[in-house]
Structure 1
Amino acid sequence: MGAAKGAGMVDAPLGRTSTHAKDGLLNIMAAGDIDTFEKVKPVLDVPGENVFHLGELGAGHVTKLINNFMGMTTACTMSQAFAVADRAGITSNNYSTSCQLVRPVRHSWGFARITRWMA
């Protein structure tokens, strides 16, 4: 019905914080018909620093769910790692120590494989 009148639809969930929103720095995970996306992209560019077209309608919401899953999985894993560090006598009660605990991971074999896979 709407398509016959030139209307279209995209799903476009947002990522980042309210501060990013105020500064126009959101990540916007849009999906839907490419022609409709191109029409609305100038509007999405206002609040969005990164506006992605991810495919067919619904792909934006699936990507947002995956993004949330990865973020929460990382937070859970980090909390467990810090618990192990505490148990081993490596204190992580300040930001500097926390950064020192994470630094070796950034140079690990696994991290290198993940970042290469994601590129």
Structure 2
Amino acid sequence: MLQKDNRLIKALLSIYLKVASRRRYVLFLDFISLALAVYFGYALRLTFFIEMGYAGELVQTIFIFSACILIPLIWGGVYKVVWPRASVEEYTILLRWYVVGTAIFLVLFKISDELRIP
């Protein structure tokens, strides 16, 4: 049993190192996690049943929110870092650009009435 656990840990570590060392994979995983965050936000607000009337708004919000976060991250050079070897300074840069993206989305959210769920 211990031998199988070691193989599983080695396989998971190998997958992590492969994904975390390629920019496009990290960008893709970030997009997926941001899309899931928006989905869960809508699902919690609408008690996990997203009606067809909200599907268009959901997709629109997914792309707007993801763009508001990912564009500052790309612009700030966050995806140039090999994350398994990242330092504390690189994580603070990631946090700074994430906060900038969140602030941009909040401004868009306050200005636009289309992004709000009635």
Q: Could you say whether these structures have the same fold, taking a TM-score greater than 0.5 normalized by the shorter chain as the test? A: no
The structure carrying a bigger strand percent of its residues is 1
Shorter chain as normaliser: what TM range? 0.3 to 0.5
- State the TM-score, normalized to the length of structure 2: 0.34
- State the TM-score, normalized to the length of structure 1: 0.34
The structure carrying a bigger helix percent of its residues is 2
Higher CA-based Rg: 1
Higher relative contact order (CA 8 A, sep 6+): 2
